[in-house]
Structure 1
Amino acid sequence: MFADYTSAELTAIFAMQGFAGLILFSVFVLMALGLAIIFGQMGVINMAHGEFMILGAYITYLTSQFFSTSLPSLFDGYFFVAMLLAFLVTAALGALVEWLMIRHLYKRPLDTLLATWGLSLILQQLYRTVFGAREVGVSLPDWLMGSYAITDIIEVPINGIFVMGLTIIITICVYLLMQKSRLGKQTRAVVQNRPMAAAVGINTERVDRYTFALGCGIAGVAGSAFTMVGSTGPTAGQLYIVDTFLVVVFGGASSLLGTVASAFTISQAQSTMEFFLSGSMAKVLTLLIVVGILMLRPQGLFSLKVRR
C-alpha cells in the first residue's frame, strides 16, 4: 500500500489527510457536543439531530442570499449573523419538540428513537418541499477564500482553518457553560441524581427543556460550519448521524473530553484510510476497531462516575 510512494510523498499525504481529518473532526465535535449533552443527561436517542444541523445550514444559506441581494456592503460579516440565527432558530425548535413530544417519552428509549426518527423524516420532506431536492451551497466572503501554502505541495484552505478555530471557541464556551454557569451546575446535578436534584428545588423539567434546546442549538451552529466544507441537501444530515453517535458512545456519554478525543481519533482514522482505501472500507475498518475497543471498555474512553 505504501510501496508506490516515496517518503516525501507519504509525508505530504499524511499531512494533507491529517488536516482534512481535522476539518472532519470539527464537524464531528460540533455535532457530537449537542448530542452528548442530550444523550448524556436525558438518555434521549435523537435520530433527528442531523436534521437540526441541516436546518442551521439552510438558515446560513438563506442569510447569505439575503445579504448578497439586500446588504451587499455587509456581506463579509454575514456568517456571524447566520451562525447566531442558526443557533436561536434550532434551539427554539428543539425546545418546542421537547415540550410537544420528548417530555412524554422519558425513560422509554426505544420510543424516543422511533419518534425522533419519524421527526427526521418529516423534516427531510419539509426541507425537500421548501428548498427542493437539489443541494445548495453558500457564497463565501472573500476573506474565507483561498489557502495558505505551507510547502510546495501542502496547502491549507482558509475556510478549514476558520472552522477549526470556531470549533475550539464553541467547545470552550460549552465547557464553561457546563462547569461554571447555574444551568450547567443544575444539569450536572440532574445527571448525577435526578430525584435528589428535584428534592433540593431544581426544576428538572425546565433543565431538560433548556438542555435539549442547547443541544439542538449547537447542532444548528454545526450546520453553519458545515456549509463551509460541504453542500447542503435535505438528507445531508443522515450522512453524519451514525458517525456522531459513534463519537458519543466511543468517547463516553456526558464526557466533554471523551467527545473531543473520540472525534479526533475517528476523524483522523477515517481521513487517512480513505486515501489508501475506498471510503466505505475506511468506515468499515473504523467501525470494527471502535467496536473492538468498546467490547473491552463498554463505558467508552472516558466516563463520569454517576450516583445511582
Structure 2
Amino acid sequence: MFAEYSLSELGAIFAMQGFAGLSLFSIFVLMALGLAIIFGQMGVINMAHGEFMILGAYMTYLTSQVFENYLPSLYGSYFIIAMVIAFFASGALGAVVEWAIIKRLYHRPLDTLLATWGLSLILQQCYRSIFGAREVGVTLPDWLMGSFAVTDMIEIPINGVFVMILTLLIAFALYLLMYRSNWGGQVRAVVQNRPMAGAVGINTEKVDRMTFALGCGIAGVAGSAFTMIGSTGPTSGQLYIVDTFLVVVFGGAASLLGTIASAFTISQAQSTMEFFLSGSMAKVLTLLFVVGILMIRPQGLFAMKIRK
C-alpha cells in the first residue's frame, strides 16, 4: 500500500489528508460536544441529534439564498450570520422537544432512544416536505475559498482552518460555561443529585431544558460547518449520528477534553485511510480500533472521576 510512494510523498500525503480532515474533525467535535452535553450530562440518548444538525445546515442554505437574492452586496458576511441563526433555530427546536417529549422520559434510556428515533423520522419527512427530497448546497464566500500553500505539495484549505478555529473557540466557551459559571455548577449539581439540587432552590426543569437546547444549538452550528464539505439532504444527519456516538463513548461521556481528543483521532484516521483504502473499509478499520480500545478501557479515554 505504501511501497509505491517515496518518503517525501508519504509525508505530503499524510499532511494533506490531515489538513483535509480538519473540517470533518470540526463537525465531529461540534456534533459530539452537543451530544456529550445531552448524553453525558443528562443521560438522554438522542437519536435525532443528526436532524438538529441538518436543521442548522438548512438554515445556512436559506440564509445564503436570502443574501444572494436580496443582499448581494453583503454576501461575504452571510456565513457568520447563518451560524448564529442555525444555533438559535436548532436550540429553540431542542427546547420545544425537551418540553414536549424528553422531560417525561428521564431515567428511561430505552424510551428516550425510541422516542428520539421516531422524532428523527418525523423531522426527516418534514425536511423532505419543506425543502424537497433533492440535496441542496451553498456557495461559500470568497474569503472562505482557496488554500494556504505551505510547500509545493502541501496546501491548507482556508475553510478548514476557519471551522477548526471556530470549533476550538466554541469548545473553550463551553468549558467556561460548564465549569467556570454558576449555571454550569447548577447543571453538574442536577446531574449528580437531582433531589438535593431541587431542595437547595435550583430549578431543575429549567436547567434540563436549557442544557438540551444548548446541545441542540451546538449541533446546529455543526450543520453550518457541514455545508462546507457536503450537500444537505433530509437524511444527511443519519450519516454522522453513529460516528458522533462513537466519538462520545470513545472519549468518555461528560468529558469535553475526551470528546475533542476522540474526534481528532477518529477524523484523522478516517481521512488518512480513505486515501489509501475505500471509505467503507476506512470506517470498518476505525470501528475495529475503537472497539478494541473500549474492550481494554470501557470507560473511554478520559473518564470523569467521581467520589465513591
TM-score when normalising by structure 2: 0.97
Amino acid at match of 1:94: G
Which residues in structure 2 correspond to 1:20-59 (within 5 Å)? 20-59=20-59
Which residues in structure 2 correspond to 1:134-283 (within 5 Å)? 134-283=134-283
Q: Quick check: 2:23–2:225 contact (8 Å CA) kept in 1? A: no
Which moves more between the two structures, 31-40 or 182-191? 182-191
Which moves more between the two structures, 233-242 or 297-306? 297-306
1:196 offset after TM fit, Å? 2.1
Determine the structure 2 residue equivalent to 1:95: 95
Name the SS of the counterpart of 2:139 in structure 1.
coil
* Structure 1 residues 212-243: Cα deviation after superposition (integer angstroms, max 9, x where no partner): 00000000011011112211111111111000
How many matched pairs?
308
Which moves more between the two structures, 242-251 or 15-24? 15-24
User: What is the distance in 2 between the residues matched to 1:142 and 1:104?
Assistant: 47
Which moves more between the two structures, 85-94 or 156-165? 156-165
User: What is the distance in 2 between the residues matched to 1:179 and 1:243?
Assistant: 26
Which residues in structure 2 correspond to 1:69-148 (within 5 Å)? 69-148=69-148
Stretches of structure 1 lacking an aligned partner (at least 5 in a row): none
Amino acid at match of 2:240: Y
Determine the structure 1 residue equivalent to 2:14: 14
1:159 offset after TM fit, Å? 1.1
Amino acid at match of 1:144: L
Q: CA RMSD in A?
A: 1.1
Amino acid at match of 1:203: N
Name the SS of the counterpart of 2:119 in structure 1.
helix
Stretches of structure 2 lacking an aligned partner (at least 5 in a row): none
User: What is the distance in 2 between the residues matched to 1:93 and 1:250?
Assistant: 28
TM-score when normalising by structure 1: 0.97
Determine the structure 1 residue equivalent to 2:288: 288
* Structure 1 residues 17-44: Cα deviation after superposition (integer angstroms, max 9, x where no partner): 1112222111100000000000011110
* Structure 1 residues 262-305: Cα deviation after superposition (integer angstroms, max 9, x where no partner): 11111111111111111111111111111111111111111112
User: What is the distance in 2 between the residues matched to 1:223 and 1:297?
Assistant: 31
User: What is the distance in 2 between the residues matched to 1:134 and 1:233?
Assistant: 6
User: What is the distance in 2 between the residues matched to 1:121 and 1:241?
Assistant: 13
User: What is the distance in 2 between the residues matched to 1:241 and 1:269?
Assistant: 18
Q: Quick check: 1:192–1:306 contact (8 Å CA) kept in 2? A: no
Determine the structure 2 residue equivalent to 1:66: 66
* Structure 1 residues 61-91: Cα deviation after superposition (integer angstroms, max 9, x where no partner): 0001001111111111111111111111111
Name the SS of the counterpart of 1:163 in structure 2.
helix
Amino acid at match of 1:132: G
* Structure 1 residues 93-120: Cα deviation after superposition (integer angstroms, max 9, x where no partner): 0000000000111111111001101100
Post-superposition, which runs of at least 4 consecutive aligned residues in structure 1 deviate over 3 A?
A: none
User: What is the distance in 1 between the residues matched to 2:222 and 2:144?
Assistant: 17
Name the SS of the counterpart of 1:156 in structure 2.
strand
